[in-house]
């Protein structure tokens, strides 16, 4: 019902667009009000409420669409009556400004979502963004950590370093070790790790419940080493980090607050530097490595798809290109002339 009220409010805002508008987020004091500010607020509300989009996704949509609405002011374009050629002109300006293809396509996706939502809300009758095409993107193979590099990374915060020497762990070390083991053990996105709650980890069943994009739920097994790291963090480190605070979030910061995705990324970057690895590595590369290592171990593609939470098998298939040994083995076992 909440989603229906959002749409009704948006439709009213569209019919009375000349009236007062809420000040959009991120507008500096004294800056001219953006057109369709109420509609933009309602749209991002619908992303959050109806689609269960993460705050990172909501923030990206808002940023992209505010940029478009500012362009509309400069270009003298009414967003509610924009034509296909005008939207194409906007994307052309992004290209001329040397925006990356991925960024332009993200802006295009935001425009499509916004105009499609306004059609459903009854604000506009035709969708000028439906036939828009973005620049073709080169499909890059994901970066994957080699076994030795993964070991070096996992040893930075461990109780035993890469040489086998014992080291004293701080509560933050135990947490960071548990987080790294978790990312590699189940291929979770960093946003999924940040939103993980205590009740989501089932130690008895040796599995974790992860909520992905659109709050889609999936169950992923956890191996023994990961469970040990998580258990030690819960028993020894988390109570000290909380220091009297309370939260149901699994991973907490040094100040006892829920650990944000940005804080996790900063920790990962610091760990990469400490391990002497390529500074371009990101937490998402743990997810890529998880998938590639499973396929190299002869896991079937459909199971890997389910564990990653991919909507389509084609998204998971890119990892088959990263495991030529597996493809050779399948070819050798299956081809009649092999």
User: Is residue 137 packed enough to be buried (19+ CB in 10 Å), middle (13-18) or exposed (0-12)?
Assistant: exposed
**Marked catalytic residue, from 88, 116, 310, 326:** 310
Q: Is 189 a catalytic residue?
A: yes
- Given the residues 62, 157, 175, 287, the one annotated as active site: 287
Q: In Å, how far are 186, 289, 319, 332 from 329, measured between CA atoms?
A: 25, 20, 16, 5
In the 3-class helix/strand/coil scheme, how is the chain assigned residue by residue? CHHHHHHHHHHHHHHCCCCCCCCCCCCCCCCCCCCCHHHHHHHHHHHHHCCCCCHHHHHHHHHHHHHHHHHHHHHCCCHHHCCHHHHHHHHHHHHHCCCCHHHHHHHHHHHHHHHHHHHHHCCCCCCCCCCCCCCCCCCCCCCCCCHHHHHHHHHCCCCECCCCCECCCCHHHHHHHHHHHHHHHHCCCHHHHHCCEHHHEECCCCEEEEECHHHCEEEEECCHHHHHHHHHHHHHHHHHHHCCCCCCECCECCCCCECCHHHHHHHHHHHHHHCCCCCCCCCHHHHHHHHHHHHHCCCCHHHHHHHHCCCCHHHHHHHHHHCHHHHHHHHHHHCCCC
310 is catalytic: yes
Considering 197, 232, 284, 326, which one is annotated as catalytic?
284
Residue 319 known to be catalytic? yes
- The catalytic position among 61, 90, 184, 319 is 319
Spatial distance between the Cα atoms of 191 and 287, rounded to a whole number of angstroms: 12
Please say if 284 is a catalytic residue: yes
Cα–Cα dist 166/145, whole Å? 25
Cα–Cα distances (Å) from 302 to 142, 209, 284, 285, 320, in that order, read: 19, 18, 20, 20, 12
User: Could you say which of 213, 218, 265, 269 is catalytic?
Assistant: 213
**Annotated catalytic residue: which of 152, 189, 238, 288?**
189
Active site residues: 189, 213, 284, 287, 310, 319
């Amino acid at each position: 019902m909440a989603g229906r009220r959002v749409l009704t409010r948006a439709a009213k805002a569209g019919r009375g667009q000349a009236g007062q508008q809420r000040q959009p987020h991120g507008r500096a004091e004294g800056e001219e009000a953006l057109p369709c500010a109420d509609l933009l607020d309602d749209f991002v509300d619908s992303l959050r409420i109806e689609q269960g989009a993460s705050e990172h996704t909501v923030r990206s949509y808002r940023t992209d669409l505010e940029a478009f609405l500012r362009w509309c002011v400069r270009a003298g374009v009414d967003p509610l009556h924009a034509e296909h050629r005008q939207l194409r002109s906007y994307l052309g300006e992004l290209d001329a400004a040397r925006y990356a293809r991925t960024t332009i396509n993200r802006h295009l996706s935001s425009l499509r979502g916004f105009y499609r939502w306004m059609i459903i809300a009854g604000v506009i009758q035709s969708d000028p963004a439906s036939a828009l095409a973005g620049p073709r993107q080169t499909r890059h193979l994901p970066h994957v950590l080699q076994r030795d590099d993964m070991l070096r990374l996992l040893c930075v915060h461990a109780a035993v370093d890469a040489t086998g020497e014992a080291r004293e762990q701080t509560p933050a070390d135990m947490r960071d070790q548990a987080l790294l083991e978790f990312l590699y053990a189940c291929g979770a996105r960093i946003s999924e790790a940040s939103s993980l709650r205590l009740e989501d980890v089932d130690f008895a069943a040796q599995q974790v419940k992860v909520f992905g994009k659109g709050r889609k739920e999936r169950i992923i097994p956890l191996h023994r080493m990961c469970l040990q790291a998580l258990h030690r963090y819960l028993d020894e480190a988390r109570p000290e980090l909380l220091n009297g605070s309370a939260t149901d979030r699994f991973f907490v910061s040094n100040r006892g607050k829920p650990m944000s995705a940005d804080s996790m990324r900063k920790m990962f970057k610091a760990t990469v530097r400490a391990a002497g690895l390529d500074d371009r590595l990101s937490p998402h590369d743990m997810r890529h490595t998880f998938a590639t290592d499973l396929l190299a171990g002869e896991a079937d593609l459909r199971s890997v798809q389910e564990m990653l939470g991919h909507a389509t098998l084609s998204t998971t298939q890119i990892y088959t290109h990263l495991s030529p040994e597996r493809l050779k083995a399948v070819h050798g076992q299956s081809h009649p002339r092999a």
